[in-house]
Amino acid sequence: MASPKKVSIIGGGIQGLCIAYYLKKEGLEVSIFEPKTAETGASYVNAGYLTPSHIIPLAAPGMISKGLKWMLNSSSPFYVKPRIDRAFLKWSWRFYKSSTLQKVTAAIPVIKEINLLSEQCFKEILLSGDLGDFQLDHHGLLMLFKTKAAGETENEVAKKAANLGLQVSYPNLEELNSLQPQLSKDILGGILYDCDSHTTPTEIMPKLKKRLQDSGVKFITEKVCRFEQNKNELTAIVTNKNKYLTEEVVIAAGAWSGQLAKQLHIDLSLEAGKGYRIDVHRETGIKIPAILMEAKVAVTPMKGFTRFAGTMELSGINTTIRKERVNAIVKAAEAYYPGLKITAAEKEAAASGMRPVSPDGLPYIGRPKAIKNLCFATGHAMMGWSLGPATGKLISEIILNKKPSMDLTPFDPNRKF
């Protein structure tokens, strides 16, 4: 199939922008459909991590039992709102079937490979000067724990990471307090993933969008309502205002991608996983990114502020800010950093974003069998920011009929669960 000249990308988050970035470099005509103009959504409220160390998918052994235990506790790190919904029940069954040791073991090297590819892409974008300068700090990621059980769990992950060749170190308490002064005295220990880096999403997203606009990418702030199709090929996108002819379509609409797929009679199993963030725009003394293990809270010293982010809430697509979940993040942060006090105003300014979660925790990157000029780029769960550039590069390679930078079989949208 000849390479198209006109590509329509649905979704203006990190996936959509990175896809446009790579396609525009190849001289294609690119349009991005994104009805939201404000800086909202998962691409703006995430922890900013580039995490080769995050090798265990969400669908892991033990997650089902944790989910059941936490189901009635809306402040828990992994909250599932009970609901009778056919699509959710189908997704839940597939999640259960994916949560096996065999499937997780197979996923681990795949997750490592795509994370390393994406980290390299981030570095190349920085070195290119296309976005000017931006924060890309390589200070590693601390996993801090207060209980022996959490330490043992993370130690098993660290062994797997080290066996894959990732840099891992085990600082003692004195070294921990040198890396991050004024930690709580009841912290038992920590593991440092030297292989990880971090960024400031609210710095990169506007710079990336401006670069695309300056290079001729069209941003269409209209809602996609339906598609026009000729046999197994999409010919046009119909919005709430206009119709746009197209040669290639990429659905990178995050948690909303499943709804668009359904219009095309494609079963793309996705659930919206809500995450929260609190930004503190004052000195906190926090020097190094960390995950507070028992609470599953991510802490990132970003450019000009410190971000506290976390939780996974499966409650459907909604923008509701649950105060008990915000308070859980605050409680954890203040417990690990005793000198920290998050104000009522900072809590009130908390925001949320919807992550697209596939049943097996691996993204959908590729073409469905039913439509020859369609690609999906979604389902990244908690690795959406980390995997944005890699996804952009891989989708561009698919569209341009180039050999992909890695094996795409694990990300096949047609895969069975």
- Read off the pLDDT of residues 377-411 as tens digits, 9 standing for 90 and up: 999 999 999 999 999 999 999 999 999 999 999 99
Inter-CA distances, 43 with 39, 336, 378, Å:
9, 26, 12
In this prediction, residue 60 has a pLDDT band, given cuts at 50, 70 and 90, of confident
pLDDT in tens, 159-174: 999 999 999 999 999 9
Asked whether the predicted pLDDT for residue 63 surpasses 90, the reply is no
- Give the residue carrying structure tokens 């052994």: 61
The DSSP symbol for 217 reads -
Strand 271-280 relative to strand 49-50, pairing: unpaired
Asked whether the predicted pLDDT for residue 70 surpasses 70, the reply is no
Percent of the chain having pLDDT more than 70? 96
Residue spans per domain, the chain: 6-411
Phi, psi of 166 (to 5 degrees): -80, 150
Strand 78-80 relative to strand 305-314, pairing: parallel
Residues 6+ apart with CB under 8 A from 200: 48, 134, 135, 302, 303, 304
The DSSP symbol for 380 reads B
Cβ(362)–Cβ(236) below 8 Å: no
In this prediction, residue 2 has a pLDDT band, given cuts at 50, 70 and 90, of low
Lowest mean pLDDT of 35-39, 119-123, 325-329, 367-371, name the range.
35-39
Q: How far apart are CA 151 and CA 4, in angstroms?
A: 51
pLDDT in tens, 11-32: 999 999 999 999 999 999 999 9
Asked whether the predicted pLDDT for residue 332 surpasses 60, the reply is yes
Q: What is the CATH number of domain 6-411?
A: 3.50.50.60
Predicted structure pTM score? 0.95
Which residues is 237 bridged to in the sheet? 227, 244
Give the pLDDT of residue 210.
97
Provide the 3-class DSSP secondary structure of residue 371.
coil
Give the pLDDT of residue 333.
97
Q: How many Å is the maximal CA-CA distance in the chain?
A: 66
Give the pLDDT of residue 313.
87
Cβ(22)–Cβ(380) below 8 Å: no
pLDDT in tens, 118-129: 999 999 999 999
In this prediction, residue 68 has a pLDDT band, given cuts at 50, 70 and 90, of low
Give the pLDDT of residue 1.
55
Give the pLDDT of residue 72.
64
Mean pLDDT over each residue of the chain, to the nearest integer: 94
pLDDT in tens, 177-221: 999 999 999 999 999 999 999 999 999 999 999 999 999 999 999
Q: Where are the alpha helices (DSSP H) in 99-214?
A: 101-128, 148-163, 173-179, 201-214
